[in-house]
Amino acid sequence: MSDERPQRIGSKPVPFATSVTEPFWSACQRRELVIPECRNCAHRFFYPRLLCPRCGEDMFDWITCSGLGTVWSTTTVRMSFWGDAFADDVPYNVSWVELDEGIKMVTNVIGVDVAEVRIGMKVRVEFEDREEFKIPVFRPVTDAARTSADRTTSMVQRSSS
Amino acid sequence: MTSPAAIGGIYETPVGDCGGMSGLELQALAVRGALRDAGLSFSDCDALYAQAPYSRPHAMFGLSLAEYLGLHCSIATTVDTGGTVTPMTMLLNAMWGVSSGLHGTAVCVFGEAARTGRPHAGKGWTLGSESLAEEFQQPFGMVGFIAPYALLAQRYLHEYDKDREGFCAVALSARRHANLNPNASMHGRALTRDDYFDARMICDPLGLLDCSVIADGAGALVVTSWERAKDLATKPIAVLGTGIATSHRSYAVPEIDQLVMANAALRAYRESGLSVSDVDAIFIHDAFTIATLLTIEGVGLCSPGEGSEYALEGNLDLGGPCPVNVNGGFLSQGHTGGILHFTESVRQLRGDAGARQVRGAEVVAVAGAGGLLGECGMMILGTELA
What CATH number does residue B13 fall under? 3.40.47.10
Residues from chain B contacting residue A104 (CB–CB below 8 Å): 252
Is residue B371 left, alpha or beta, with left meaning phi > 0 and alpha meaning psi from -120 to 50? left
What radius of gyration do chain B's Cα atoms show? 19
Choose the closest CB to B120 out of A8, A74, A137: A8
Query: What three-state secondary structure class fits B375?
Result: strand
Residues from chain A contacting residue B204 (CB–CB below 8 Å): 75-76, 78
Is residue A91 exposed (0-12), middle (13-18) or buried (19+ Cβ within 10 Å)?
A: middle
Residue A74 touches partner B, C-beta closer than 8 Å: yes
Q: Could you report the per-residue pLDDT of B162-171, keeping only the tens digit for each?
A: 999 999 999 9
**pLDDT at residue B7 greater than cutoff 70:** yes
In a domain, B92, yes or no: yes
Averaged pLDDT, B352-369: 97
Which strands, in side-by-side order, build the sheet including B5-12?
Answer: B5-12, B216-225, B106-113, B47-50, B75-78
The residue out of B230, B263, B283 marking a domain boundary is B230
The residue out of B172, B200, B230 marking a domain boundary is B230
How far is the C-alpha of A139 from the C-alpha of A75, rounded, in Å?
15
Smallest CA–CA separation between A136 and chain B, in Å?
A: 9
Query: What three-state secondary structure class fits B324?
Result: strand
CA angle B239, B344, B127 (to 5 degrees): 95
- In this structure, are B170 and B110 located in the same domain? no
Task: Label residue B117 by pLDDT band (50, 70, 90).
Answer: confident
Query: What three-state secondary structure class fits A104?
Result: strand
Highest mean pLDDT among B3-7, B133-137, B188-192: B188-192
Task: Label residue A16 by pLDDT band (50, 70, 90).
Answer: confident
Q: What is the count of structural domains for chain B? A: 2
Q: Could you report the per-residue pLDDT of B321-334, keeping only the tens digit for each?
A: 999 999 999 999 99
- In this structure, are B40 and B157 located in the same domain? no
Cα–Cα nearest to A150, from A33, A66, A34, A69 = A66
Question: Is A47 in Cβ contact with B136 (below 8 Å)?
Answer: yes
How far is the C-alpha of B136 from the C-alpha of A107, rounded, in Å?
8
Residue B154 touches partner A, C-beta closer than 8 Å: yes
Query: What three-state secondary structure class fits B284?
Result: strand
**Helix H or strand E encompassing B69:** helix B61-69
Task: Compute CA distances B368 → B102, B298, B328, whole Å.
Answer: 27, 11, 15
> Which domain, by its residues, includes B331?
144-211+237-386
- In this structure, are B57 and B97 located in the same domain? yes
Q: Could you report the per-residue pLDDT of B204-237, keeping only the tens digit for each?
A: 999 999 999 999 999 999 999 999 999 999 999 9
Averaged pLDDT, A132-137: 95
**pLDDT at residue A131 greater than cutoff 80:** yes
- In this structure, are B79 and B165 located in the same domain? no
In a domain, B121, yes or no: no
β-pairing, A133-140 with A122-130?
A: antiparallel
- In this structure, are B109 and B34 located in the same domain? yes
What are the φ and ψ backbone dihedral angles of B85, each rounded to 5 degrees? -75, -15
- In this structure, are B156 and B298 located in the same domain? yes
**pLDDT at residue A144 greater than cutoff 90:** no
Q: Give the model's pLDDT for residue A82.
A: 79
How far is the C-alpha of A107 from the C-alpha of A74, rounded, in Å?
9
Residues in chain B: 386
Task: Compute CA distances B227 → A52, B232, B312, B336, B348, whole Å.
Answer: 49, 9, 44, 31, 22
Query: What three-state secondary structure class fits B38?
Result: coil
Q: Give the model's pLDDT for residue A14.
A: 86
* Stretch 52-71 of chain A: residues touching chain B, C-beta under 8 Å: none
CA angle B206, B210, B214 (to 5 degrees): 115
**pLDDT at residue A2 greater than cutoff 50:** no
**Helix H or strand E encompassing B8:** strand B5-12
Task: Label residue A154 by pLDDT band (50, 70, 90).
Answer: very low
Q: Are B206 and B149 spatial neighbours (Cβ–Cβ below 8 Å)?
A: yes
The DSSP letter of residue B317 is S
- In this structure, are B59 and B201 located in the same domain? no
In a domain, B25, yes or no: yes
Q: Give the model's pLDDT for residue B129.
A: 73
- In this structure, are B241 and B295 located in the same domain? yes
**pLDDT at residue B2 greater than cutoff 60:** no
In SS3 terms, B209-271 reads as HHECCECEEEEEEEEEEHHHHHCCCCCCEEEEEEEEEECCCCCCCCCHHHCCHHHHHHHHHHH
How far is the C-alpha of B44 from the C-alpha of B31, rounded, in Å?
12
Q: Give the model's pLDDT for residue A85.
A: 84
CA torsion sign for A143, A128, B249, B337 is negative
In a domain, B105, yes or no: yes
Instruction: Give bridge partners of residue B103 from the DSSP assignment.
Output: none
Residue B53 touches partner A, C-beta closer than 8 Å: no
Q: Give the model's pLDDT for residue B126.
A: 55
Residue A153 touches partner B, C-beta closer than 8 Å: no
- In this structure, are B153 and B203 located in the same domain? yes
* Number of CB pairs, chain A paired with chain B, less than 8 A apart: 128
The residue out of B171, B197, B230 marking a domain boundary is B230
In SS3 terms, A80-101 reads as CCCCCCCCCCCCEEEEEEEECC
Q: Could you report the per-residue pLDDT of B118-135, keeping only the tens digit for each?
A: 776 555 445 567 788 889
In a domain, B265, yes or no: yes
Cα–Cα nearest to B98, from B8, B223, B222, B7 = B223
How far is the C-alpha of A65 from the C-alpha of A73, rounded, in Å?
20
Among the ranges given (A145-149, B56-60, B270-274), the one the predictor scored with the smallest mean pLDDT: A145-149
Residue A102 touches partner B, C-beta closer than 8 Å: no
In a domain, B241, yes or no: yes
**Residue-by-residue DSSP string for B304-316:** TT-HHHHHHTTTT
How far is the C-alpha of B109 from the C-alpha of B33, rounded, in Å?
11
Task: Label residue A72 by pLDDT band (50, 70, 90).
Answer: very high
How far is the C-alpha of B139 from the C-alpha of A61, rounded, in Å?
25
Choose the closest CB to B154 out of A81, A92, A119: A119
Task: Compute CA distances B137 → A23, A94, B81, B134, B309, whole Å.
Answer: 17, 10, 21, 5, 34
Which strands, in side-by-side order, build the sheet including A157-160?
Answer: A34-38, A60-64, A157-160
- In this structure, are B221 and B321 located in the same domain? no
Averaged pLDDT, B253-280: 97
**pLDDT at residue B26 greater than cutoff 90:** yes
Task: Compute CA distances B150 → A68, B36, B127, whole Å.
Answer: 24, 42, 18
Averaged pLDDT, B361-366: 98
In a domain, B122, yes or no: no
Distance linking the first and last C-alpha atoms of chain B:
11
Among the ranges given (A141-145, B33-37, B89-93, B351-355), the one the predictor scored with the smallest mean pLDDT: A141-145
What are the φ and ψ backbone dihedral angles of B27, each rounded to 5 degrees? -65, -35
Is residue A57 left, alpha or beta, with left meaning phi > 0 and alpha meaning psi from -120 to 50? beta
How far is the C-alpha of B290 from the C-alpha of B303, rounded, in Å?
15
- In this structure, are B98 and B204 located in the same domain? no
Residue A11 touches partner B, C-beta closer than 8 Å: no
Percent above pLDDT 70 for chain B: 97
In a domain, B334, yes or no: yes
**pLDDT at residue A44 greater than cutoff 90:** yes
Q: Give the model's pLDDT for residue A5.
A: 42
- In this structure, are B207 and B218 located in the same domain? no
Residue B133 touches partner A, C-beta closer than 8 Å: yes
State ipTM: 0.93
